[in-house]
Chain A
């Protein structure tokens, strides 16, 4: 037969097997505020509220409604930094939450993803973390209210890779 009918089947099996085994390890890397994957100078830098530490590269702001964005393709992240409240009053502090949102930049036919994580740490050393995410291109938006001060250090990403491990 000049035109066999089985190659599409073989190709389908090959694709299925490679999709299942394309990654077997995780690569962890740290992204700073100076990497283009992060954006602390959103839209219009004239009104930017994030201060820059020229030595460490850390970004900080106090008592502003502010947020930062990180774009990544990963299955998890861990944002490092420090946050504290304006007041010691626990009743007021309950409103002063850090919000974390991970969502694709636009809603596709496959549906949207939206997760919010509230971090209530006082003087904590991390700004939030998620793991076990479905691999996708995410936009992480970390925001806080003007009753909170934040120092952003960096963010560690978990990127699946294939290795010989």
Chain B
């Protein structure tokens, strides 16, 4: 049966009766942003940034059908970008924790990028704690190359 929907088929107030509030797109839990329903978080990367580190929590999965994944995209595309090739991360772990490394993204400090983070499919959510941006005038310790120790030096002015 085909239901005819003409301009006079419903009274004017029917639109309000059938109004559905928009689905929840994100929540804040324990200081972390949880992105759902393909919602993207965009971040204007500061100038002179050469490395981005995206931090996020890891957690147990309460429902094994859920997934907690993130993709990272950059606008404009960095030199290492290939079509359809997104950096990915997985947040469900046996242990819980915060501020774990989700992405390490090297970028050209001469270009101002916008970082975009989000869940790669509608069934998953992307949980982000924070974003660190390392400017290119950082001093990388040579004495302990295996560590991720970074110390800042005064910027050239």
List chain A positions with a Cβ less than 8 A from chain B: 18-19, 22-23, 25, 27-31, 33-39, 41, 44-46, 48, 52, 54, 57, 71-74, 104-110, 135-137, 139, 156-157, 159-165
Q: How far is the CB of A118 from chain B (nearest CB, A)?
A: 25
B109 pairs with A52, CB closer than 8 A: no
Contacts known (A34-B95, A36-B101, A135-B79); A163 close to B108, Cβ less than 8 A: no
Quick one: which of B80-121 are within 8 Å of A by CB?
80-95, 97, 100-111
20 further A-B contacts with Cβ under 8 Å, apart from A18-B110, A29-B148, A136-B80, are A18-B111, A19-B108, A22-B50, A36-B89, A37-B104, A41-B92, A41-B93, A71-B87, A72-B87, A72-B104, A73-B103, A105-B86, A106-B84, A109-B83, A137-B81, A137-B87, A139-B88, A162-B50, A163-B136, A164-B139
Asked if A37 and B85 make an inter-chain contact with CB atoms under 8 angstroms apart, the answer reads no
Interface size on B, residues (CB 8 A): 49
Please measure, in the bound complex, the distance between the C-alpha atom of A162 and the C-alpha atom of B139, giving whole angstroms.
Answer: 10
Total contacts A-B at CB 8 Å: 141
Q: Which residues of B in the span 48-85 have a Cβ within 8 Å of any Cβ on A?
A: 50-51, 56, 58, 61, 64, 70, 79-85
| Interface residues of B, Cβ cutoff 8 Å to A | 50-51, 56, 58, 61, 64, 70, 79-95, 97, 100-111, 134, 136-140, 145-148, 153, 156
Whether A163 touches B50, Cβ cut-off 8 Å, given contacts A52-B94, A137-B80, is yes
Interface of B is mostly: loop
User: Is B105 touching A36 in the complex (CB atoms < 8 A)?
Assistant: no
User: Given A104-B85, A164-B136, does the pair A36, B50 have CB atoms closer than 8 Å?
Assistant: no
A162 to B89, CA, bound (A): 24
A73 CA to B110 CA in the complex, in Å? 19
> Chain B's nearest CB lies how many Å from the CB of A48?
8
A137 and B104 contact, CB distance less than 8 A: no
Query: What residues on B are CB-neighbors of A54 within 8 Å?
Result: 95
Q: Which residues of B contact A39 (CB under 8 A)?
A: 90
When C-beta atoms are compared, the residue in chain A nearest to B57 turns out to be A36
